Amino acid sequence: MKEYSPFVINQFTKHVLNDTAASNWLIENNYKELIATLDAVRDDKHAFKYLIDGKFFELAAFVNTIWEDSKAFKFLIDNKYFDWAACANIINGDEKAEQALLKYNKKHFVQLAHAIQGRIREDGDRNVSPWGVMQNMLNFKKAFEKDPEDKKKK
């Protein structure tokens, strides 16, 4: 398991909040798994596979815990990834998890949780706006179109 300092978690939080400099810092300093974590939270299957293939199991479990997978939460607790478990619980509305992190001077995880929570809400709002619905319909239609490469083979 890779250790993440408060500074690294703060850079991750800034990335979640669309800070380009923080995103670049994460890439340049070999923390691509944190970028993949946000993408996986946002339902990018390739990003989740990147976490699994790279053996970032605690981050994959964090993603699944956000989406209320009790086995993933148990994995985090059993393997002593308490900060990630509490962070996911804050995202899911657990005020006691926030209090616990603050008690142990883990404000950076609290800030990360709130940033991810905001991003999830923003994504949800985008998907129900008239423009977002139209984009989703177009993407759905594209999913059922024949692959142009298939037409060439015929």
Whether 46 is covered by a domain: the verdict is yes
Domain count, the chain: 1
The per-residue pLDDT string of the chain (154 residues; one tens digit each, 9 = 90 and over) reads 788 999 999 999 999 999 999 999 999 999 999 999 999 999 999 999 999 999 999 999 999 999 999 999 999 999 999 999 999 999 999 999 999 999 999 999 999 999 999 999 988 765 444 444 444 445 444 444 554 444 444 4
Give tens-digit pLDDT for 71-106: 999 999 999 999 999 999 999 999 999 999 999 999
Residue 104 maps to a domain: yes
Confirm whether 87 is domain-assigned: yes
- Asked if residue 71 is part of any domain, the answer here is yes
- Give the DSSP per-residue string, the chain: -----HHHHHHHHHHHTT-HHHHHHHHHTT-HHHHHHHHHHTT-HHHHHHHHHTT-HHHHHHHHHHTT-HHHHHHHHHTT-HHHHHHHHHHTT-HHHHHHHHHTT-HHHHHHHHHHHHHHHHHHHHHHSHHHHHHHHHHHHHHTSPPHHHHHH-
In a domain, 151, yes or no: no
Domain that holds residue 12: 6-145
